[in-house]
Structure 1
Amino acid sequence: MDESVRLRTATEDDRRPLADLLLYAFHERTTDETRELEEMIMEPGRTLVAEDGDTIVGTVAIQTREMTVPGAVLPTAHVTGVSVLPTHRRRGILTAMMRRQLADVAEAGREPIAALYASETAIYPRYGYGPASERVRFDVHSREVKVAGPPAPAGRLRLVRPQQAKAELAAVYERLRVHRVGWSSRPDHWWDFLLKDSESQRDGATELRGVLYETADGPAGYATWRVKDDWNRHGPAADVRVREVVAGDPGVYAELWRFLLSIDLTRSASFHFGAVDEPLQYVVDEPRKLGRSLTDGLFVRIVDLPAALEARRYATPVDAVLEVSDPILEANTGRWRLTGGPDKASCVRTDDAPDLACSITELGAVYLGGTTTAALVASGRVRQLTDNLPTAAFQWHRQPSSIDMF
């Protein structure tokens, strides 16, 4: 790294300059409103800054949250805000910050994995982050599909203002997120951030709107969305921009989508955080009209290899030796015997011959069950050394997903 630049932990006094740096780096307008949004989710004690003289020129940050992994919920370093000013690129600042952050997380010993969304996907595998999930974008011709699905339990839809219904939305989400691999915990300040509903978040659409599906036992699901108005030569053509659809019961899930795809004066709907196995694809009569496209989702980095592999569960029994290389966190390098199944797991060092060999990046890619070891073998990213390849064990009964962009 350039000798004129030093790294340090941020302080409370850094909130405003950090907000300004992030807004500049991610090409967003710098206003009091956008600064307030950035400052709402900052944790200065978990934020590194690169400083050149009196100027902050780079930063990486962590949000302290949990994430659901196969069979467990783990403390997970949610990495965010990775940026360097354009005047200080190509000086090794990003590499120094990413390495320092990983060393700090490993030393603290609280979070066995880290996760992030990649603004540029070529960057993060260099630091051991593997592409662990994908997400489906839906751009729906809503008047050309019909939603079937099972009947919902007795109940009703009730329109709500999301800010005022925060407790009800949070209760539904909290009940379900522990069963959905890739979903993160939402501290109270994160809910405030999600529901702030500032003008800068709307892109010309309406305020955030919400609906609850209520049963005799309480709320069973919810959806939030905006509407972008439009008219053309054929009449009304507004777009429903869906933010979240959260429901555990298949009938409630279908009922929420039936509502969203039939709002008056709208002709299309968009939802950009669907799972690869999103049930919407299987409850409509014309799936082609969903306008599906695939993009990357979460990237996962194994920080403490034995702790991470022991914490999750495995779909089938596994007993395999993994030879792993990690040039940044060398404690992860070596041969590890992984044994386990749906109920428990163990991961210990061994001198036995390996069944497969990979880098820590590939291990992060398979960790949530969204990328298979067989696919990585076929691509040459994993070396298969015996017939004992634990592909089925690492997979899970649902594909990982995430509906939080952090």
Structure 2
Amino acid sequence: MTSLDARAVPVDAVSAETLAAAGLDYRLADLSDEATAQSYQRAVSRGFLGDEPDAQALAFGQAPFQARRNAAVYDPASPAADFPVATVNSWVTPLTVPGGAAVDMWAISVVTVAATHRRRGIARALLEGELRAAASAGVPVAGLTVSEATIYGRYGFGAAVPTVRLDIDARRAGWAGPTPSGRIEYREREQLADDLAAVHERARLRRPGQIPGWRTRWEGFAGLSPSDTERDRVRGVRYLDDEGALRGVLVYTLAEKGGSFRFGLHVRMLVAETPDATAALWRFALQHDLVDDVTADLRPTDDPLPWLVADPRGVVQTVHDHGWLRILDLPTALAARHWSAPLDTVLRVEDPLGFTAGDWRLRIDQSGAAVVESAADDAVDARLGVAALSALYAGGVSASALHGAGLIDADPGVVERLDRALASFPAPSLDIWY
């Protein structure tokens, strides 16, 4: 776990100057002050078009805000000058990379701009300010999950960790998988939150793209959030192996379909650390009494579910973007991950913000270890932007796909060698929003 506390990093001076020229005040918000904390949380909820949080909701959501670096933009000319017109927060967290190692990542969240202050360059100042703050602190990678997919490429982020939504016709799909010999048991909500935290913390270390969760995240999944409109529908089970060890957790809701006494089951979260746990929990969901269809999102692209059913046409898979990454320190980031094949190539990276721009020689030995050095005098083999390189980083996006889209300029042989080296086993995934 990283020892760097993002709260000690000041706001970026360039962004502060830019916003000051527009008559706006950009600073870290002191959430130890109750009034400031409440206005900050209310601004975040408003920015995401959420309900006005009541006292219970504010109290429930307070802990993660207190643990993070909370930046805000204030408008002194506003009638409510102490209410943020824009927000962003961040923290440094370990990101699992191919091979099972971890690299420090500057996690960015709650990026909002009030509808009254759009088109004034605020979002750009916030995002570029976060990246400069992260780089100044020596953090090699930044990451976020996004509500809009068209915004972040301009800042060098790439959609690096795709995930899958599954829509399952349970009666058609049936079951053809194993029946693991462990046992499944129901859990109460507080127990569910504990179990999710325990299993996820172990499982995330084996899957590139994952980051640690936090207590209120697990309580939210378990239906303990006072603002959760479906909290009374939340149920959950856990899977114990033959030795009685906790290996998996399934949290779900059930909704009746039009008074038919037939139900849809929505998977809020399924986290498992063994194949038996995964199969047992999927079997429980698909063979649940009175359930016709099952839905789940944020599943890995190599989820075994389509191969566990009798009729795979009963499973519709929709791949979509989820985890976005942005490389800031190219030598450190590329050396942190394991590579799947030897490689010796020179990359020319374009980076409008300058963090990774230049020519770089990437050498990967037989063990999968990489060394990256400046290559100003060497012939260039491939040209790409930092957003494309960031999309490739976790091994979930192929170089051949980006080459086909015109985002990598290289000979086909170079692209093939990149794909072999970048391959990740297992596929990267990210099963939470942040």
1:172 is aligned to 199
2:27 is aligned to 8
Shift in alpha-carbon separation, 1:349–1:386, aligned structure 2, 3 A? farther
**Does the CA-based 8 Å contact 1:11-1:45 persist in structure 2?**
no
Deviations 1:247-267 (A, max 9, x none): 233233111111111222322
**Does the CA-based 8 Å contact 2:221-2:268 persist in structure 1?**
no
Deviations 1:89-145 (A, max 9, x none): 000001011111100000111x31111112111100011101112221112221222
1:266 is aligned to 291
Pair 1:93-2:122 in alignment: yes
Q: Which amino acid aligns with 1:74?
A: V
Moved >6 Å (runs of 4+): none
Q: Distance in 1 between matches of 2:75 and 2:222?
A: 36
Q: Which amino acid aligns with 1:108?
A: A
1:337 is aligned to 361
Corresponding residue SS for 1:171: helix
Q: Which amino acid aligns with 2:364?
A: G
**Does the CA-based 8 Å contact 1:37-1:193 persist in structure 2?**
no
Q: Distance in 2 between matches of 1:8 and 1:405?
A: 25
1:239 is aligned to 264
* Counterpart selection for 1:29 from 24, 31, 51: 51
Q: Distance in 2 between matches of 1:145 and 1:204?
A: 29
2:13 is aligned to none
Q: Distance in 2 between matches of 1:386 and 1:141?
A: 41
Q: C-alpha displacement at 1:242, in angstroms?
A: 0.5
Q: Distance in 2 between matches of 1:96 and 1:353?
A: 36
2:373 is aligned to 348
2:62 is aligned to 39
**Does the CA-based 8 Å contact 1:147-1:254 persist in structure 2?**
no
Relative to the length of structure 1, the TM-score reads 0.92
Q: Distance in 1 between matches of 2:199 and 2:46?
A: 36
**Does the CA-based 8 Å contact 2:239-2:280 persist in structure 1?**
no
Give the alignment of 1:7-406 within 5 angstroms. 7-12=26-31, 13=33, 14-32=36-54, 33-43=56-66, 46-53=69-76, 54=81, 55-71=83-99, 72-109=101-138, 111-152=139-180, 154-188=181-215, 190-195=217-222, 197-198=224-225, 200-203=227-230, 206-232=233-259, 235-328=260-353, 330-341=354-365, 342-351=367-376, 352-384=378-410, 387-389=413-415, 390-406=418-434
Deviations 1:178-220 (A, max 9, x none): 1111111124454345445235324486034233334315112
Shift in alpha-carbon separation, 1:194–1:231, aligned structure 2, 3 A? closer
Q: Distance in 1 between matches of 2:204 and 2:332?
A: 22
2:16 is aligned to none
Q: Distance in 1 between matches of 2:413 and 2:293?
A: 49
Corresponding residue SS for 2:268: strand
Shift in alpha-carbon separation, 1:340–1:237, aligned structure 2, 3 A? same
Shift in alpha-carbon separation, 1:140–1:45, aligned structure 2, 3 A? closer
Q: Distance in 2 between matches of 1:360 and 1:108?
A: 20
**Does the CA-based 8 Å contact 1:4-1:52 persist in structure 2?**
yes
Q: C-alpha displacement at 1:386, in angstroms?
A: 7.6
Corresponding residue SS for 1:31: coil
**Does the CA-based 8 Å contact 1:204-1:228 persist in structure 2?**
no
Q: Which amino acid aligns with 2:249?
A: Y
Q: Percent identity?
A: 30
Q: Which amino acid aligns with 2:267?
A: V
Q: Distance in 1 between matches of 2:345 and 2:122?
A: 38
Q: Distance in 1 between matches of 2:324 and 2:118?
A: 23
Q: Distance in 2 between matches of 1:208 and 1:289?
A: 24
Q: C-alpha displacement at 1:83, in angstroms?
A: 0.7
Q: Distance in 2 between matches of 1:123 and 1:334?
A: 24
Q: Distance in 2 between matches of 1:326 and 1:240?
A: 45
Q: Distance in 1 between matches of 2:67 and 2:53?
A: 21
Q: Distance in 2 between matches of 1:197 and 1:240?
A: 19
What is the count of residue pairs matched by the alignment? 401
Structure 1 unaligned blocks of 5 or more: none
| RMSD (CA atoms) | 2.1
Q: Distance in 2 between matches of 1:25 and 1:88?
A: 11
**Does the CA-based 8 Å contact 1:138-1:290 persist in structure 2?**
yes
Q: Which amino acid aligns with 1:247?
A: A
Deviations 1:363-399 (A, max 9, x none): 1110111111111111111111584331211121222
Corresponding residue SS for 1:215: coil
Relative to the length of structure 2, the TM-score reads 0.87
Q: Distance in 1 between matches of 2:368 and 2:105?
A: 21
